[in-house]
Amino acid sequence: MLKNLTLLFFVLSASLLGGCVSMQLSPKDAKRIHTVHVNEQVEMPKTMSYSTSSAGPILLGGIGAIIQAEASIKPRKRMESFAKQHHIFIYEIVRNQFIKQLSNKTPFKVVKSKNADAMFHLKIVRYGMWGPSISSSHGMDPILKLVATLTNKQNKVIWADQDTIVPLSSGTTAHTAKAIMKNPKLLSKMWNQAAKRAVASIVSTLPKKTA
């Protein structure tokens, strides 16, 4: 069991980590930016990822896509409906966390106007939950792959970075699906923890706010 769990962990991690996106913000561009806007439209995958060892995540070639086995389709759809029913939206969580950390950690002023000096665009490549098995007492871990880009007024990309939260990551809490269904705040907490860590890593590559 432990051997299989370790193997599945590395397979899923590889699929999430695949495809590096990174571009440093030049000092010249940084000096031109005073106000920024975070695009309201967060790019999202069609469905969340919901995988267990019994479902068996499988890599397709080198693209790192996961095929959800038949055993996980119903639980995934149930969790998606549950999140929607309780107004727990990963795109809102990620965007709000991004705005908060931009305001607290960078010299940029976040504004609502799209006429800002530059605009951030967020893309959630993958998000969801992963666990060793549906019945495991360990529970489900949040997973998240986030890409952020910054464009200037000419719509040219001048900065980009990404981060990935994999299963068993420090700073995130696992919960069983049963516990989540009884207390929706647990799902919100899990995705907030994942978003906070991913955004912190991404924002750390931007200029720092000075006292």
Percent of the chain with pLDDT over 70: 77
> What residues does each domain of the chain span?
21-52+72-203
Is 21-52+72-203 a CATH 3.40.50 domain? yes
SS3 1: coil
pTM (predicted TM-score): 0.82
How far, in Å, CA of 45 to CA of 66, rounded?
12
The 8-class DSSP code of residue 43 comes to B
Averaged over 111-130, what is the pLDDT? 96
> In terms of DSSP bridges, do strands 118-131 and 49-52 run parallel, antiparallel, or are they unpaired?
parallel
- For residue range 93-120, what is the model confidence (pLDDT) as tens digits? 999 999 999 999 999 999 999 999 999 9
Confidence class of residue 34 from pLDDT cuts 50, 70 and 90?
Answer: very high
The H or E element containing residue 85 is helix 70-85
Bridge partners, residue 131, by sequence: 52
State the chain's mean pLDDT as an integer: 84
Query: What is the per-residue pLDDT for 133?
Result: 54
Q: Regarding predicted confidence, which is higher, 53 or 143? A: 143
Averaged over 194-204, what is the pLDDT? 97
Is there a contact between 166 and 142 (Cβ–Cβ < 8 Å)? no
